[in-house]
Structure 1
Amino acid sequence: MKFLKTTGEYLEIQNFDITSDQTNLFENSEEKLTLIWFTENDNYLTIDGRRYTFMANEIVFLTEFHQIENIRLNKGKILRFNRPFYCILHHETDVGCKGILFFGASSLPKINLTNTDGETLKSLWQVFEHEMKSSDEHQLEMLQMLLKRLLILCTRIMKRQTDLSTIEEDKMTIVKEFNFLVEQHFREKKSVAEYAELLHKSPKTLSNVFKLLGQKKPLQFIQERVLLEARRQIIYTEKSISEIAYELGYEDLQAFSRFFKKTEGSSPSEYRALHTKKVS
């Protein structure tokens, strides 16, 4: 089911199973944000050149920048919307999902539903489906309200399932803003100090906040976002390695190659050849 206004607002929800035509599931994802809710086990997607297996009651959140291929999905639901329908950046104070569900640097945002979570979202999905069949003057507002509620619920679950829920609100804001700034500036800014300056914080403050997560250091987030884009460009474009390195802010090709090989275990050229062999 699709909702489309002449003014550009777009929302789509659909159910899929193993018998569905899955070849076109992600062709209409440009400039849109996507939520995929898996309701049975053993779903396979290759995202940005890496294969993922998703099990029942997992939800993954994707932006238009994710490259998706090698699809084999058993059963689930998809919700997709564009910025004119609901801009998470403009409504950040309402839903708080920027840098958590979407535009969260290098990691693939995913949540696992408990039975209670699943029942709550199932009920909400049913209301979505009912409202999609409506055609009165309040339909847009109702659908936006339902999407807002869905994003808030998923953000709460994400916070609960990570250490984000234990962080004070001011520190939580720093984490989210850092992630979003990395998404905007990773091509030209590679150091923690540069992002600390944008946030009007010291590099040490940033490091201390991320230490509370017990996970990656700020520099790792930056480097992994650069590597993610490098993999995307190497696999999905015909640009030369030199062009890719330059677009990612490296004037020295050798420096880029060393950076890439240190993490991926192969040079950019070897990585491209390996991927080409796999898909041929």
Structure 2
Amino acid sequence: MNTNGNYIQYELNDPLTGSYFYFTNDLTRDLSKALANPTANRIIWNQGKGQFKFSCDEKTVTLRENTFCTLTALNYIKFPDNEQKVTAIAFNREFYCIRDHDHEVSCNGILFYGAQNFSVLKIPSVEVVPFEKLVDLFLKEFEENDSLHGEMLVSLLKILIIRLTRIGRNRIIGIQSDYQSIETIRKFNLLVEQNFRKYKQISEYAFMLNISSKKLSEIFRYAKLDPPLHTIHQRTILEAKRMLLFTLKSVNEISEELGFEDASHFSKLFKKLTGKSPSTFRIRKN
């Protein structure tokens, strides 16, 4: 652990297992290391009173006081110069796989790998102190170096993710107490993340969830969320934007990779949701 006054940095990097965990309480001071592992998921917490702004998938994200953001290895992140101190945690699948352990934390589809692909959560005022105490437990554990050290860090990370997942669930207005419907939304988001290249119809996802298309649409309407079909389309176009911006693949290649039988259908959907053709979007952004 590296400490210097109020600045703290910790890194666990096991070359034998590939396990990676990183913590910093001053992200902008550690950008090169905090973003060094391309396979890591990240949790960012603005504990200060000022705003922290950065770019994620070409969208501007604003973290206000006591706001968290959860990001996956799939996100394209740019952090501009910013004097605001924020806390950040990075971890890869080898350290703790949120997909393999979904039954433990149930965060996929709410915090990670949802259709919008990143979440911004405001901590309720009554939860601020418990989160601060949890960070203190992380800091204390960084001073240990026994055989239980790694397991303890995983346990603390799980507690953090579970607490954030509860906040994320409560953010789904209209059905806060309907845990079955919340679970359906969560599973739908995860299924879209896993299958958007192959499946484009609500009925295909409703079948996997063992409910009717009508019921699935009703759940989203009661939760005051975008319709399921819109969610599928948005996830598809988000991936298209990434490929247009960060690869040299042609529009036809992207269309085929995203599961469209005809490139014109892809271009039509892209323009409907963005107002630009794929080619125009690539030129203007670059």
TM-score after normalising by structure 2: 0.90
- Structure 2 counterparts to residues 67-216 of structure 1, below 5 A: 67-73=76-82, 74-163=84-173, 166-216=176-226
Residue 272 of structure 2 corresponds to 262
Q: Shift of the alpha carbon at 1:246? A: 1.0
For residues 262 and 54 of structure 2, what CA distance do their matches in structure 1 show? 34
Match of 2:281 among 262, 271, 280: 271
State the shift of 1:22 in Å: 3.2
Conserved? CA contact 2:175–2:222, under 8 Å:
no
- Residue pair 2:110, 2:165 contacting (<8 A) in 1 also: yes
Question: 4+ residue stretches of structure 1 with deviation over 4 A?
Answer: none
Structure 2 portions without partners, runs of 5+: 1-9
The Cα shift of 1:162 comes to 2.7
* Structure 1 vs Structure 2 CA RMSD: 1.8
The alpha-carbon deviation at position 84 of structure 1 amounts to: 2.0
After superposition, what is the alpha-carbon deviation per residue over 1:204-232, rounded to whole angstroms, capped at 9, x for unaligned? 12112212211211111101100110111
Number of residue pairs matched? 274
Structure 1 82/173 Cα, relative in aligned 2: closer, same or farther at 3 Å? same
What is the CA distance between 1:21 and its match in structure 2?
5.1
Match of 1:8 in 2: 18
Residue pair 1:159, 1:165 contacting (<8 A) in 2 also? no
Tell me the residue number matched to 1:60.
69
Secondary structure in 1 matching 2:240: helix
Give, in angstroms, the shift of residue 66 of structure 1: 0.3
Percent identity between the aligned chains?
A: 34
Of 238, 245, 255, the match for 1:228:
238
Using the TM superposition, name which of 48-57 and 235-244 deviates more. 48-57
Q: TM-score, normalised on structure 1?
A: 0.92
Partner residue of 1:25?
Answer: 34
CA contact (8 A) 1:234 1:272 kept: yes
**Aligned-pair CA distance for 1:168:** 2.2
Post-superposition Cα deviations, 1:138-171, rounded to whole Å, max 9, x if no partner, equal 1112111111111111111112233276242222
Q: Which has the higher contact order (CA 8 A, sep 6+)?
A: 1
